[in-house]
Amino acid sequence: MASTTFTDTRWIARGEERTSLPQFLLWLAPWAVVLALGVYAAGLCLYYGLNQTNMDNRFAFGLWIFLDLGIIALGAGAFFTGFLVYILKRAELQPILNTAVVVGFICYSGAVAILMVDVGQPLRAWFTFWHPNTHSMLTEVTFCISCYLLVLCLEYVPILLRNRQLRKLPSFLVFEHQLHKLVPVLAGVGTLLSFFHQGSLGGLYGVLRGRPFAFREGFLIWPSTFFLFILSAIASGPSFLMLVTAAVEKVTRRRLVPPELFQRLGFISGVLLAIYIAAKSIDTLIWLNFTSPSVGFAPWQYYNYKPFGLPILFAEIVLFGLLPAFLLTYRRSAKRRGLLLSAAALACVGILLNRFVLTVQTLALPTLAFDEFLHYTPSWQEVASFGGVIGYGVIGYSLSYRYLPLFANPKGDDPHVSGD
């Protein structure tokens, strides 16, 4: 069935016009290069070991962990939108649901791929499932992320099967229908899993009793960062979805979703962001005044080391917190697409900054009185292999966009019955 002529229209959903194949390939080419370079770099790390990175015994976590936490937070849009649509029955968000799933799938699979390079002995990584240490936040993360990745696959498959050619196989169509019935359930499960691993990613650092900069008291077994991470993730998720959709609209020069939807997303994002910032501020105050001093670390001492001064804290809370929260929720600013999007961008940057501070600053700060404040610059292998994930993301999304009906088509007829 391989088409001999240099075209792929038979694969593109009816009623959707897409750019010509050559133009599409031209768009993919640079990203393919980035991806290839990333695969090569990752290969080096797997073959020669992690000496290929610039991490060391003091900076045992580096760029990778920071970006993993980052993209997983941004990928939270997937489960959260599913949650809103299927659990809270917010039908108006339906149009971006597929995008949400694809973005989520890409973020999570990418993060997991990088993690497999990041661990020193990937061949033994499965021990976590066989000999799990139930007290470890990382165990929680590993279980939830791998399970949720499975859920995402199950959510992605029906979208995949809606491809024009694949629909030709009757059994697939049946399968897809069955699966689609499952989707609400999956959304529920996904929500549960996501709440836990987003949280335990925060817990990851919150439990570090040995690192008073990160250590937090908490509720039951979960430190406060557990809940802050959930909040910040669901706050930034929608913003990121908005940015992705907007980017696609820019590239394809066409309206894919009604503008009200953007405002809706922005509002949700903004409100959650506001809640998050409030919670974070309280948490920070408690930590500075009680938690940290109680273990012998004077408040504010962490901010004596440039470049990690107080401005970072300010930026996190005001510049990338309150400001976007306001812009996203305030009707006037939300109406202006430009403002809305830049606010969304600010929100996402804020979350990334938060993850950066927690991962990098925590390790850079001294604990013993005679420790030095440390610096670390990732090696090209680290940067490249992460670039690979981004390349993978863009390519993955582009393909999905081209060959799958990501956005319910304007005619509004239900994609399930339409088609041949």
- Per CB under 8 A, does 217 bind another protein? no
- Per CB under 8 A, does 90 bind another protein? no
Q: How far is the CB of 39 from another protein (least distance, A)?
A: 20
Q: Among all chains, which residue has been given the structure tokens 């009793």?
A: 209
Separation in Å, CA 403 to CA 162, 163, 243, 350:
9, 6, 21, 33
Q: Return d(Cα 143, Cα 135) in angstroms, integer.
A: 13
- Per CB under 8 A, does 397 bind another protein? no
| Candidates 32-40, 159-167, 207-215, 398-406; binding stretch for another protein (CB under 8 A) | 207-215
- Per CB under 8 A, does 44 bind another protein? no
Q: Specify the residue, 156 or 308, whose C-beta has the smaller distance to another protein.
A: 308
C-beta neighbour count of 349 within 10 angstroms: 18
Q: Specify the residue, 177 or 209, whose C-beta has the smaller distance to another protein.
A: 209
Considering only residues 51, 165, 252, 289, which one is a binding residue for another protein as defined by CB under 8 A? Answer: 51
Q: Specify the residue, 6 or 130, whose C-beta has the smaller distance to another protein.
A: 130
State both tokens at 288.
């500075």
Considering only residues 29, 220, 369, 417, which one is a binding residue for another protein as defined by CB under 8 A? Answer: 369
- Per CB under 8 A, does 56 bind another protein? yes
| Candidates 149-157, 204-212, 317-325, 386-394; binding stretch for another protein (CB under 8 A) | 204-212
C-beta neighbour count of 250 within 10 angstroms: 10
State both tokens at 3.
């088409």
Chain centroid to Cα 409, Å, comes to 26
State both tokens at 8.
């792929």
Chain centroid to Cα 66, Å, comes to 12
| Candidates 47-55, 182-190, 314-322, 399-407; binding stretch for another protein (CB under 8 A) | 47-55
- Per CB under 8 A, does 373 bind another protein? yes
| Candidates 4-12, 114-122, 264-272, 395-403; binding stretch for another protein (CB under 8 A) | 114-122
- Cα-based angle 233, 189, 182 (whole degrees, multiple of 5): 125
Residues forming a β-bridge with 208:
none
Separation in Å, CA 334 to CA 245, 309, 324, 330:
16, 32, 10, 6
- Per CB under 8 A, does 155 bind another protein? no
Q: Return d(Cα 104, Cα 251) in angstroms, integer.
A: 20
- Per CB under 8 A, does 3 bind another protein? no
- Per CB under 8 A, does 144 bind another protein? no
Asked whether the beta carbons of 317 and 347 are under 8 A apart, the reply is no
Q: Which residues bind another protein (CB under 8 A)?
A: 49-51, 55-61, 118-128, 130-133, 135-139, 142, 169, 171, 204, 207-212, 294-298, 301, 304-308, 362-364, 366-373, 375
